[in-house]
Structure 1
Amino acid sequence: MDRVLSTIGYESATLPEVIAKLKSAGVTVVIDVRAVAASRRAGFSKTMLRASLEAEGIGYEHLRSLGTPKPGREAARKGRIAEMEAIFAEHMKTPEAQDGLALAKTIARERHAALLCFEACAAGCHRRIVAKLIREETGLQVRDL
């Protein structure tokens, strides 16, 4: 079986639904790629999410440096995906983002990881870009859950 890097968004799902998808896919660690790991959605703020995942045997790593800067998040909310991508591309040139990407690659090589962010559809989310960057170096297949 090919090695896989999964991605998942929780926009239209409950925490139990997200955990069930992760477990069904065989994910062993979630890499949270939100710049701000807080959420108005019940259970998706960092502390509660970490505890809920760990109770189900799934690890949790928050890599804030792989999150979209505020102007990029604002562009995405307004449907300006190309603008978000340009902002995120510039952000990924920073040493902090490169360090985060290196750590994400290491984690993904060692365990079945899932990149987590808010957007339900990966096509409009920066996690698609992060997944592509990881795939290019590791050869992992990307699967959106």
Structure 2
Amino acid sequence: MQRLCTIGYGEATPARVIAALQAAGVTTLVDVRAVANSRKPGFSKGALSASLAEAGIGYWHLRPLGTPPAGREAARSGRPAEMRRIFAAHLAGTEPQAALAALTERAGREKLCLLCLEADPAQCHRTLVAEAVATQSPGMIVEHLHPA
């Protein structure tokens, strides 16, 4: 049975995220942020991909699966239902659907983990992405990792 992991780095350090990925046997981290920059040290695309490479973990940025600006604003403003509605409409688009298909295909071959900022998977769009993959992959289990 294949597993697709998710992880949020909001309350973690890069070292804690990498340790959680290694413990779960993740081969590639899939960055599902629309903008792969961060105010938290070590989580911008360049620094994160370099740290992951040192740990033997691949990095794949899937920008089309990031939340559009209006969805990010809704999430920051504490309107998760609105964020989910906005993201669902975004996910139905051509480019996000192509990215979702590529993600689904690759998730069937290797252990992937979706990354975003939000620590709580219930409040983050990465859970919606993971559920969409699981819906298209019978038997796929979604596992939420929590950096210790």
Q: Give the deviation of 1:80 after TM superposition.
A: 0.2
RMSD of aligned Cα (Å): 0.7
Kindly report which structure 2 residues correspond to 1:63-102, keeping only aligned pairs within 5 A, or say none: 63-102=62-101
Name the CA distance, whole Å, in 2 between partners of 1:49 and 1:90: 29
Q: CA deviation at 1:123?
A: 0.2
> TM-score scaled to structure 2, two decimals?
0.95
Match of 2:115 in 1: 116
For residues 1-145 of structure 1, the aligned pairs below 5 Å read 2-139=1-138, 140-145=140-145
**Runs of at least 5 residues in structure 2 that lack an aligned partner in the other structure:** none
Moved more, 101-110 or 79-88: 101-110
Alignment: residue pair count:
144
Letter paired with 1:142: V
SS at match of 1:119: coil
Q: Distance in 2 between matches of 1:47 and 1:102?
A: 25
Residue type of the partner of 2:144?
Answer: D
Instruction: Choose 13-22 or 100-109, whichever is displaced more.
Output: 100-109
Structure 1 residue runs of 4 or more that deviate by more than 2 Å after TM superposition: none
Q: CA deviation at 1:68?
A: 0.3
The whole-number CA distance in structure 2 between the counterparts of 1:55 and 1:103 is 25
Moved more, 103-112 or 117-126: 103-112
Q: Distance in 1 between matches of 2:87 and 2:119?
A: 18
Letter in 2 for 1:137: Q
Q: CA deviation at 1:14?
A: 0.2
- Structure 1: state its 5+ residue gaps: none
Q: Aligned to 1:72, what secondary structure does the other structure show?
A: helix
- Structure 1 length as normaliser, TM-score? 0.97
**118-127 vs 131-140, which deviates more?**
131-140
User: Structure 2: how far apart are the matches of 1:100 and 1:129?
Assistant: 14
Residue 60 of structure 1: CA displacement?
Answer: 0.6
Q: Give the C-alpha shift of residue 5 in structure 1.
A: 0.4
